[in-house]
Amino acid sequence: MGLSPEQNAMPPEALLEWYVEMGADEAISDAETNWFAASEAAAAPVPRAENAPAAIRTAAQAPAPVSVASAQAQPRVPASGAGPATDKAAATLAGAAQSLEELRAALESLDGFPLKVTATNLVFGEGVETPDVMFIGEAPGADEDRQGRPFVGASGRLLDRMMRSIGLDRAENAYITNILPWRPPGNREPTAAEIAICLPFIRRHIALVRPRIVVPVGGTAAKTLLDQRQGIMRLRGRRFEFLDPDLEQPVPAVPLFHPAFLLRSGGQKALAWRDLLTIKQIIQ
């Protein structure tokens, strides 16, 4: 990244802080990449896609990866040149997915969504279908973005321990995903617009996974999925119903503190333990 004369004059700690604030909080390559040159190249006029040899097609023109099963079924969101993704286009794409593979392909084919460009990987979800519990967090962090798997960092390790304490395991009887499948740069909070685009996908994800219980993990997930305004302090441990036209019946939902919060505020673990017991009781 090129620096201005003012930035060059900054003390190293202040410069580092500035990088983190801008979302550049991890090194992903030993060599420097000139992103300005890359975006200028992308903006330059190119021959019409159908006439251009494959080697000079831009990323926007290249066909997005779509699974064979979904190739016929998926309506495509307009290519990125056609503007930003809309809630309506997201709902059409998500609604057409008939399986988890198709839903993943639908997300991969969504264009005009900036988080896709800044993220390293799509973090779709993992676990078993028709699980006892589907845990839904906010968005991937740096570890998850790097590995393309949900909840694999420090808070993921705590979530695994919390799950195990009530007999749950992502390999056996649970499923884990997030409201947003792409990491917001620098782990900033997702915006309302980003959540609105991702909402049809997570709703469809729940309908396809068909869990016995939904557990929103943290305030963002709880408010988004349960359409509530109160914060997690008031929502946690209470029993709600998750409703969706694609589900035959309402699914019980019990919001849980986010493990990242519990790592910072150990004093709240007793409440989280109580909420885990509520979840266990519902399973039984």
SS3 at position 208: helix
Q: Which residue is it, tokens 């849980």? A: 256
- Decide the pairing of beta strands 133-137 and 240-242: unpaired
Binding mask 86-125 for ligand URA (x = CB under 6 A): ----------------------------------------
Whether the CB-CB separation of 215 and 166 falls below 8 Å is answered with no
Least distance to ligand URA, CB of residue 182, Å: 11
Is residue 190 a contact point for ligand URA (CB under 6 A)? no
Interface with ligand URA (CB under 6 A), residue from 70, 74, 155, 224: 155
Which among 8-16, 70-78, 95-103, 131-139 is the span making contact with ligand URA, rule CB under 6 A? 131-139
**Where is 168: in which H helix or E strand?**
none
HSE toward the beta carbon, residue 189, CA cutoff 13 A: 6
**Shortest Cβ contact with ligand URA: which residue?**
137
Whether the CB-CB separation of 251 and 226 falls below 8 Å is answered with no
> Any residues with CB less than 8 A from the CB of 174 and at least 6 apart, and which?
127, 128, 131, 132, 133, 134, 135, 163, 168
Interface with ligand URA (CB under 6 A), residue from 125, 127, 141, 200: 141
Is residue 272 a contact point for ligand URA (CB under 6 A)? no
Interface with ligand URA (CB under 6 A), residue from 113, 124, 135, 151: 151
Least distance to ligand URA, CB of residue 83, Å: 29
CB atoms within 10 A of CB 48: 7
Q: Which of 132, 125, 164, 130 has the alpha carbon at shortest distance from 254?
A: 132
Nearer to ligand URA, 124 or 242 (CB): 124
State how far the alpha carbon of 42 is from the alpha carbons of 36, 38, 110, 111, in Å.
10, 6, 19, 15
Least distance to ligand URA, CB of residue 72, Å: 32
Please work out the total of residues on this chain that contact ligand URA, with binding judged by CB under 6 A. 13
Nearer to ligand URA, 140 or 255 (CB): 140
Is residue 138 a contact point for ligand URA (CB under 6 A)? yes
Is residue 139 a contact point for ligand URA (CB under 6 A)? yes
Q: What residues make contact with ligand URA under the rule CB under 6 A?
A: 137-141, 144, 150-151, 153, 155-156, 178, 260
